[in-house]
Structure 1
Amino acid sequence: MKSVVIEQPGQLNIAQRNVPQPDPGEVRVKVKYASICGSDVHIWHGHNPFARYPRVIGHEFFGIIDAVGAGVDPARLDTRVVVDPVVSCGHCYPCSIGRPNVCSELQVIGVHRDGGFSEFALVPDANAWALPDSIEDRVASLVEPFTIAANICAFLQPQPQDIALVFGAGPMGLTAIQVLKGVYGVERVIVADRIDERLQMARDNGADLALNNTETPLATQLNGVQPTLIIDAACHPDIFAEAAALASPAGRIGLLGFSGAPCTITQQSLTSKELSVFTSRLNSHRFPHVIRWMAEGKIAPHKLITHYIPLNEIERAMTLFEKDPRACCKVILEI
């Protein structure tokens, strides 16, 4: 089988590997479509602190179960599935309170263990979620990125009367916009970015107001409006302090991503307004929610997709995703 392997940072290859056989409790997925995420690019360049090499990357993928290991119901064969990349131990403190995404022994498919940029992938049976026929194959791999927005929104508990501000109109920001508007019915969603083409994507995905903050500070453009809910989907270390300054008293701030750079913020800026700050990593049992939203038409994954590229052109696909944010959003690999 063909697999995209990062042998070591900077070294991306398409390798020929033996088709794997599932262990007890596993299923084998014949992958049909997989989408590129920023973390895949980070692993390629050696900037993901959690990755182990060599690694078959890819944690956003869809396919069909074509083999099952011992203990797995044979009726699972031929099931169309998307894969939750979070593999947890089930017995540590985070797992015991329903937070497997920060399990003490966390493994992420495509990061700690081989992923879905391959013709076949092995995953725990419990991580393979069946899809209804109403969700098309060509968009199904985008269930996973929408679970990131679902996870932070579960903490933030958006309300229709909220004034929401999203920093960043990349793929994560766009999924957040769609979930805020389509699922929670937030009446006013503002988006800030420094690329005009991305701001247009934000409008196309439901943003009510899109602001370019390259030259004019957001505080000036907001003209006294104080967001009650802020999502940082850009992950620049300067944003946290700016978000605290812009937020309404009693507002909520949600942080996505894991920049290793330090940021400077005072306790006073948080406590003087009694702000609530939430952080989020991956997803915690959000796949059923997103599958339902997608099936009900509350979110529109096709609006994020700009390119379909064959697996054997992986380097072109990864480079396009990384280098051309004006024309590129989600790139789907055809396996």
Structure 2
Amino acid sequence: MKEVIVTGPHKAEVRDVPMPKIENKHDVLIKMQSAGVCGSDHHIYHGTNPCSTYPRIPGHENAGIVTAVGSAVTTVKTGDHVIVDLIMTCGECYQCKIGRKNVCESVRVRGSGADDVVFILGTGTIGSIILQTCKAKGCKTVICCDVSDSSLERAKKYGADYVINSKRENLLERIQTITKGRGVTIAFDSACFKGSLTLVMQPGIVCNAGRIVPMGFVTEPESITQAMINQREIDIIGSRMSCCQFEPTIKHIENGDFDLEGIATNFIKFSNIQEVFYHMEHPDPSVKKMVILFDE
């Protein structure tokens, strides 16, 4: 079989390696059919993911077909179409026992009420899914901001109540107008660039006692003070990966709760894997989500 491996920043190889085999009774062997290219994979390739080391086989949004199972496996069988949970946890530590396995002590890696007024900075793949999730939960108003008109048009299709292009419009003024001077109750930073968290935290964006959820792993310092948090008693909610969300997400998809049309924009054969890295090196606003299709 073949694997793609990132050996260092901006360095990737395709290698021939032995096919894995069932080695214990709980193993499941899956033939990969597709893999979404996540923002985390971009960071791994560019050397900007603080949680990753090299060499690294990227890809954790995986779908495939079960080709073999161990003797103790009862939940799937050969021929089943499956997706793979990206999180592997111990199940025994304090974090796992209180239902927060996404921050398990030994984790290995393969939120909003009905009256909320939501602000989403960045309407790429993650922002688009947050948008649809908030609308499915019955959030009162969802405001989306981006610098790409095509992304904002897509956000309107997915149910955004208001869209703001911050290249042409004053973000603070628009939010104050939309919310009648109150600000939003929760803001998601899914743009995740240096300064994006400071931008979201500026007075007038989030209301007193509001919540901010940063989605990225930017390591550069920002100009945030204790006063910015405490004067308005803002809750900052950390978010790493996902926690116990695979099954409910599958149910939502089965029920047609999410509009998936246009989420994935580029389907690339594994034999053309260099095209993935080309788009990483040469960002194109029209390439919003790449999916690798493994050759038969």
Scaled by the length of structure 2, the TM-score of the pair is 0.90
Q: Which residue of 2 aligns with 1:8?
A: 8
Q: What CA deviation, in whole Å up to 9, does each residue of 1:178-234 have, x standing for no partner?
A: 1111x2122321111122222222222221211111254311222342111111111
- List aligned pairs for 1:286-305, cutoff 5 A: 286-305=245-264
In structure 1, the gaps of 5 or more residues are 110-152
Aligned: 1:172 with 2:129: no
User: Aligned-pair distance for 1:322?
Assistant: 5.8
CA RMSD of aligned residues (A): 1.9
Q: Which residue of 2 aligns with 1:136?
A: none
What is the identity, as a one-letter code, of the residue corresponding to 2:119? L
CA distance in structure 2 between the partners assigned to 1:58 and 1:168 by the alignment: 22
CA distance in structure 1 between the partners assigned to 2:42 and 2:199 by the alignment: 27
On the 8 A contact 2:186/2:210 being kept in 1, the answer is yes
| Aligned match for 1:328, one of 267, 279, 287 | 287
- List aligned pairs for 1:1-335, cutoff 5 A: 1-24=1-24, 25-73=26-74, 76-109=77-110, 153=111, 157-159=112-114, 161-181=115-135, 183-224=136-177, 225=179, 226-244=183-201, 245=203, 246-320=205-279, 323-335=282-294
Q: Which residue of 2 aligns with 1:137?
A: none
CA distance in structure 1 between the partners assigned to 2:15 and 2:113 by the alignment: 45
Q: Would the alpha carbon gap of residues 303 and 187 (structure 1) be closer, same or farther in structure 2, given more than 3 Å must change? A: farther
Identity of aligned residues (%): 31
CA distance in structure 1 between the partners assigned to 2:170 and 2:279 by the alignment: 30
What is the identity, as a one-letter code, of the residue corresponding to 1:267? Q
Tell which has more relative contact order, 1 or 2 (C-alpha 8 A, sep 6+): 1
CA distance in structure 2 between the partners assigned to 1:75 and 1:234 by the alignment: 37
CA distance in structure 1 between the partners assigned to 2:57 and 2:127 by the alignment: 26
CA distance in structure 1 between the partners assigned to 2:132 and 2:76 by the alignment: 35
On the 8 A contact 1:311/1:334 being kept in 2, the answer is yes
User: Aligned-pair distance for 1:318?
Assistant: 3.4
| SS of alignment partner, residue 81 of structure 1 | strand
| SS of alignment partner, residue 275 of structure 2 | helix
Structure number with higher helix proportion: 1
Q: What CA deviation, in whole Å up to 9, does each residue of 1:234-269 have, x standing for no partner?
A: 113423333232111222211111111112222222
CA distance in structure 2 between the partners assigned to 1:238 and 1:9 by the alignment: 23
- Between stretches 189-198 and 316-325, larger displacement belongs to 316-325
CA distance in structure 1 between the partners assigned to 2:106 and 2:17 by the alignment: 27
| SS of alignment partner, residue 223 of structure 1 | helix
In structure 2, the gaps of 5 or more residues are none
Q: Which residue of 2 aligns with 1:118?
A: none
Q: What CA deviation, in whole Å up to 9, does each residue of 1:278-311 have, x standing for no partner?
A: 1110011110110000000111223312111101
CA distance in structure 1 between the partners assigned to 2:74 and 2:169 by the alignment: 58
On the 8 A contact 2:50/2:217 being kept in 1, the answer is no
What is the identity, as a one-letter code, of the residue corresponding to 1:307? N
CA distance in structure 1 between the partners assigned to 2:152 and 2:28 by the alignment: 41
On the 8 A contact 1:31/1:63 being kept in 2, the answer is yes
CA distance in structure 1 between the partners assigned to 2:79 and 2:281 by the alignment: 34
Q: What CA deviation, in whole Å up to 9, does each residue of 1:116-152 have, x standing for no partner?
A: xxxxxxxxxxxxxxxxxxxxxxxxxxxxxxxxxxxxx
Q: How many residues align?
A: 287
Q: Would the alpha carbon gap of residues 220 and 158 (structure 1) be closer, same or farther in structure 2, given more than 3 Å must change? A: same
| SS of alignment partner, residue 210 of structure 1 | strand
CA distance in structure 1 between the partners assigned to 2:28 and 2:68 by the alignment: 6
